[in-house]
Amino acid sequence: MSFERKPFSFEDEQLYSAPPLDDRSMGYGHIGHVRAELIWYDFHHMWCPDDSRLNTPAFQRDLRALLGALRRGVFKSEPALSDFAPTVRPVQVIGEHNISFKVQSESYSYYIRCRPMARGHDITIRAYDNALLLPELAGKHKLPDHCFSVLPDSGELVILQQERPTIQSFESNDPVEVRRQVADDLNEAMGVTKAQEQAMLMGCLHGFGQPCAEPWQYEGPSGQHEHGKQQKHREER
């Protein structure tokens, strides 16, 4: 298993500082955090899960691999951490003596901060699921101004608007499958995902201040709630 190591950016610092259990962190796929300390050559840690749905066996395997790699490398000893510090310190946006960096695997991202203590370093590792984190960072969990959809009950082709929560229908004698394809083609041309479309529909029906109007609730290729399916898939890997 390979890991890619990067320094913190300003956006990373904002993400790291968000409360673990607020809506933003949940939308970003926050799984939990590791509390650890490095004192000379001794590295001790404790895992604290925050979202049991994402704390899957697949994630636990990834986390164990990460901790093993850190034990053999950056956290092998305080001298090893001191040698590593200059590689990230020039781009830090936080305290001069803190060491902050992130590590990414194929499926997960880890945001790591090392804070000096009187003896050793206090370490916090916050873990995120890339299936939710990366679309969020790319802006795919934000709502568009408008998009197209097909109403599930009537099969009408409609345009959904966020500024004025309305549903405007179009007259069409085409089969529902054709209307669905039209909506998909128009949304794709605007860069609107299935999750965004579903959240827009729920926002127009139930209000944009409701949790059902958050695109991250509908991650998955079908545009429906895929959270449980993703978890089952990962547990079976």
Measured distance CA(172)–CA(179) in Å, rounded: 8
Measured distance CA(187)–CA(195) in Å, rounded: 11
**Mean pLDDT, residues 119-141:** 83
Instruction: For 176-205, write each residue's pLDDT tens digit.
Output: 999 999 999 999 999 888 888 999 999 998
Q: Are 150 and 183 in contact (CB under 8 A)?
A: yes
Instruction: For 1-12, write each residue's pLDDT tens digit.
Output: 567 777 777 667
pLDDT of residue 82: 87
Higher pLDDT, 16 or 37: 37
φ and ψ at 206, to 5 degrees? -125, -5
Measured distance CA(218)–CA(196) in Å, rounded: 8
Measured distance CA(217)–CA(202) in Å, rounded: 11
Measured distance CA(32)–CA(126) in Å, rounded: 6
pLDDT of residue 127: 94
Q: Are 30 and 50 in contact (CB under 8 A)?
A: yes
pLDDT of residue 136: 72
Report the number of secondary-structure helices (H) and strands (E) in the chain.
8, 9
Instruction: For 220-230, write each residue's pLDDT tens digit.
Output: 433 334 443 34
Q: What is the mean pLDDT of the chain?
A: 81
**Residue 91 confidence class, pLDDT cut points 50, 70, 90:** very low
Q: Are 143 and 208 in contact (CB under 8 A)?
A: yes
β-pairing, 157-161 with 166-170?
Answer: antiparallel
pLDDT of residue 18: 62
DSSP structure string for 8-74: --HHHHHHHHS-TTSHHHHHTTEEEEEEEEEETTEEEEEEEES-TTT--HHHHHHHHHHHHHHHHTT
Q: Looking at the predicted structure, is the pLDDT value of residue 85 above 60?
A: yes
Helix (H, G, I), strand (E, B) or coil at 46: strand
